[in-house]
Amino acid sequence: MTVPAFSSKLQKPLTTYGVNCLQVNLGKLCNQACKHCHVDAGPKRTEIMDRETVQHIIAAAEMVRPELVDLTGGAPEMNPHFRELVEALRDLGVPRIMDRCNLTILLEPGFDWVANFLAKHRIEVTASLPFYVGEHVDRQRGKGVFSRSIEGLRILNGLGYGDSLPLNLVYNPQGAYLPPDQDDLEQLYKRHLAEEYGIRFNELYTITNMPIARFKTYLERSENYTRYMNKLVSRFNPGTLDGLMCRSLISVGYDGRLYDCDFNQMLDMTIDAEQPHISQLRDIMLTGRPIRTDDHCYGCTAGHGSSCGGALDTEDEAIAV
Ligand code: SF4
Ligand code: SF4
């Protein structure tokens, strides 16, 4: 089966509703190098957001007044301007600031300030923990990552995360299959992590592995690419289209370029051919702008759907077309 164009599944082209979320990629530098990383991040990457671009982000937040600023990477905390940015966003009164934390960064030498800083500024923590069984996590994220992640979670729990401060975990499948039901899996995670390790968290987000970057290479090498794409296409769920994150988000790359989402960013698909920069945000159409889609968008629209905030359609799955 050849993959039908994603656009052929749409009754009309996708357009934006506005900007509720400003998503900022602070760079590709990370203390880990996970097998499924769609950013291809790692310890040897040198691409990080500079101070001038950080200043443009602050100005953009003041102009757009997003409900949420979502800080991602790599490991966002490894950007030397991370603290300055968070403090400026707090001063602006941004209602929600989220740090996509990989947990192990909390234990890295030189980063022992991170957990207290996040708690002090009441930053939401969204942390990847691709499963509650150690060997599965280590297989995907590297040897010893699970036990260090548990240690990171204990530090966060000790500061009030999972109680008075929001701590959400992210699950993604280990291989070429879609995530299970988000609510059911959350219950399993909660029970297991509480009983085995005394860990508390708020919500679990299930995220589909996107067929791009490192995961695409893995699919091709394991001869699973076609099977995986066929699965995504056959599970296309139109009920996810309204809630797609690209409809209410603008994503900023480490160099300030603008994208419809993090995935388009990794594919170098800027919001238009002019490759606009965050400093030009004033001239960009924020509402009603056409969204650039391609085959990878099946990853967001298959089954219960997928976004940075987990499943999109938690009702019984709509009939695929
Ligand atoms: S921790 Fe996150 S950003 Fe870093 S390599 Fe793993 S998936 Fe990529
Ligand atoms: S990958 Fe997902 S979020 Fe990005 S443009 Fe496609 S549907 Fe929207």
Ligand 1 center from residue 11 Cα (angstroms)? 35
Total-model pTM? 0.92
By DSSP bridging, strand 249-252 and strand 258-259 are: antiparallel
CA of 40 to the centre of ligand 2 (A): 18
Return d(Cα 214, Cα 1) in angstroms, integer: 23
Q: What is the pLDDT of residues 255-278, one digit of tens each?
A: 999 999 999 998 999 999 889 999
Q: Which two tokens stand for residue 158?
A: 């000790």
Q: Which atom of ligand 1 is nearest to the CA of 141?
A: 6
Query: What pLDDT, on the 0 to 100 scale, is given for residue 173?
Result: 85
Give residue 130's pLDDT.
86
Q: What is the pLDDT of residues 3-15, one digit of tens each?
A: 899 999 999 999 9
Q: C-alpha dihedral over 200, 204, 210, 212, to 10 degrees? A: -20
Query: Which stretches of the chain drop beneath a pLDDT of 70?
Result: 1, 307-321
Is the C-alpha dihedral spanning 215, 71, 247, 285 positive or negative? negative
- The best mutation among 47, 79, 108, 128 to test binding of ligand 1, ranked by most ligand atoms within 8 Å of the C-beta, falls on 128
Q: Which ligand is nearest to the CA of 302?
A: 2
pLDDT digits (tens, 9 = 90+) for 120-132: 999 999 999 988 9
Tell me which residue has its CA closest to atom 3 in ligand 2.
246
Domains identified in the chain and CATH numbers: 17-214+244-290 (3.20.20.70)
Q: Which residues pair with 101 in a beta bridge?
A: 127
Per-residue model confidence (pLDDT) at position 102: 95
Q: What is the pLDDT of residue 307?
A: 65
* CA 75 to ligand 1 center in whole angstroms: 7
Point out the ligand nearest to the CA of residue 78: 1
Which residues does a 6 A CB cutoff place in the pocket of ligand 1? 30, 32-34, 37, 39, 41-42, 73-75, 102, 128, 141
| Ligand 1, atom 3, residue with closest C-alpha | 74
In this predicted structure, what is the pLDDT of residue 35? Answer: 74
Sign of CA pseudo-dihedral 177, 179, 185, 190: positive
Give the residue, out of 260, 265, 295, with the most ligand 2 atoms within 8 A of its beta carbon, to mutate for a pocket test: 260
